Structure 1
Amino acid sequence: MKKFRLAIIFTLLLTFGLVSFANAAVVNKQDNNVQWLGHSATLITTEKGLDVFIDPWITDNPKCPVTKENINPDLILVTHNHFDHMGTDVPYFVEKNPNCIVVVHNDVVSALNEMGITEKNIVSYGMGLNYGGQAELEGIKITMVQAIHNPSAAGYIIELEDGTTIYHAGDTGIFAGMELLGNLYDIDLALLPTGSTFVMNPFQAAHSLKLLKPKKVIPIHYGTFEVLVQDATEFVKLSKKIAPNVKIEVLKPGGSLRL
């Protein structure tokens, strides 16, 4: 009976224009959007419209379907300073958006300085982060975690404004600490390299899902060069057997996933 009375009141409000579906739609939250731009490059657009760009290799990236002019990041996260992750476009993005903050490992700060990026645009007053360090920028919590690759390689746990948690592994092999990450964080989406040679192969990447326990996964870092695994077929096949509860989202470069 109470629900019936509420329905009548709401109908009357609609009738006299005191409330409308149009106005109600304005306050509905927007989805978070994750766009894979080939290799490791990933653009996250949050529900509040902030752009977080991870591994901003655009120019000379053979798999990237957009140009740097199409992107205007508020935050840039670099997993390490190899050419296929840091790229050469960071100065362009900082000039385009003078308030852009770049998050890097402390040992990579000097490489940014050589590109002309000063402490104003580098996290932690120009000092960078190290493993376990966290920065809260524009309401987004960014935690640097280890990656098994070169000495200053990192991954990131990214907690968006609404609590959605994304793990971008950067370049890494499988490591036991992934289980700890899976216990510490309720990971909604993991982006994992699957291309072998320099990173996890499909077998290791599939087993890492058992450790991380994400709800969804996007395979990345494959198919860019001949030396890498060329597609996600084996990863998908193995993951369905090893971690059947994880939803696998295979994207084409430029493809998006809404969270």
Structure 2
Amino acid sequence: MEITWFGHSNFRLKAGDTNVFIDPFFVGNPAAPTTYKEIDACDLILVTHDHNDHIGQTLELAIKHDAEVVAMFDIIQGLLALGLPEHLGVPMNIGGTVERLGIKVKMVQAMHSSTTGTAAGYIITLPDGTCIYDSGDTGLFGDMELFGAFHDIDIAMLPTGGRFTMDAQQAAYACKLLKCKKVVPHHWGTWGILDKSTESMAEQLTLLAPDTEMVEVEIGKPTEI
């Protein structure tokens, strides 16, 4: 599997020939190395919540690439009203699972706000069995332990910036609850009010979740995991 980080919480997961975008925030993202107009392939989009720095350019990418959008029911209704073709909307809610392009997507809870609906995370199972948890924006909550009990999580993608989400200490403790093999920190460094590096995350993992390996992905550079 290949991960490309476009800064903030904007990711592309590539499994085989399938390109999955999560929270494609390009316009207004000072860390993004490219614009959404330069994206040449997009097959599926997952939206964790509809704050501008997460829903981003979902509508434009979906229409341009005829890509389905998976999101909270309320968010899909809003996108349909803005012009998303009905056949591209995949509404769901907490606890539900859909399968698209051979990829299983389970929506799970997150502790965060959202303009409409509620914020969510996703547990993604690729065709080869690789399991990825993207928490979206969230604070730490104890039920993350259940995610680890029901799923063998290979990679967790967790925010570490603080202020609006978990900080490094809480994210490291989340790794302990999740029992994930690897973690990719995000939602840091975008703006000055967020943590500026992953140094604290590395230190806290050593203390709280030494069995979890931190994977640092360079912005804009595809990284095989």
Write the deviation string for residues 197-217 of structure 1: whole angstroms up to 9, x where unpaired. Answer: 110011101111100011110
Write the deviation string for residues 65-101 of structure 1: whole angstroms up to 9, x where unpaired. Answer: 12213322100000000000001x2232123222x10
Structure 2 gap segments, 5+ residues each: none
Among 64, 69, 75, the residue aligned to 2:37: 69
Aligned position for 1:108: 75
The letter for the 1-side match of 2:62 is: V
Secondary structure at 1:104 match in 2: strand
Give the count of matched residue pairs. Answer: 221
Structure 1 gap segments, 5+ residues each: 1-31
* Contact 1:81–1:111, Cα closer than 8 Å, also in 2: no
Among 82, 93, 108, the residue aligned to 1:130: 93
Aligned position for 1:196: 162
Aligned position for 1:4: none
Q: Residue 58 in 1 paired to residue 26 in 2? A: yes
Q: Residue 234 in 1 paired to residue 200 in 2? A: yes
- Separation (CA, whole Å) in 1 of partners of 2:19 and 2:178: 25
* Contact 2:14–2:20, Cα closer than 8 Å, also in 1: yes
Q: Residue 139 in 1 paired to residue 102 in 2? A: yes
Q: What is the Cα deviation at residue 113 of structure 1?
A: 2.1
Write the deviation string for residues 19-62 of structure 1: whole angstroms up to 9, x where unpaired. Answer: xxxxxxxxxxxxx101111000010000x210000001012211
Q: What is the Cα deviation at residue 193 of structure 1?
A: 0.2
Point out the structure with the larger helix share.
1
What is the TM-score when the length of structure 2 is the normalising length? 0.95
- Separation (CA, whole Å) in 2 of partners of 1:144 and 1:61: 25
Among 47, 51, 75, the residue aligned to 1:82: 51
Point out the structure with the larger strand share.
2
Q: Name the % identity.
A: 43
Which structure has the greater CA radius of gyration? 1
Secondary structure at 1:204 match in 2: helix
Q: Residue 97 in 1 paired to residue 60 in 2? A: no
- 1:159-170 pair list within 5 angstroms: 159-170=125-136
Two-structure CA RMSD over aligned residues (Å): 1.2
- Separation (CA, whole Å) in 1 of partners of 2:3 and 2:197: 20
Aligned position for 1:222: 188
Among 191, 198, 212, the residue aligned to 2:178: 212
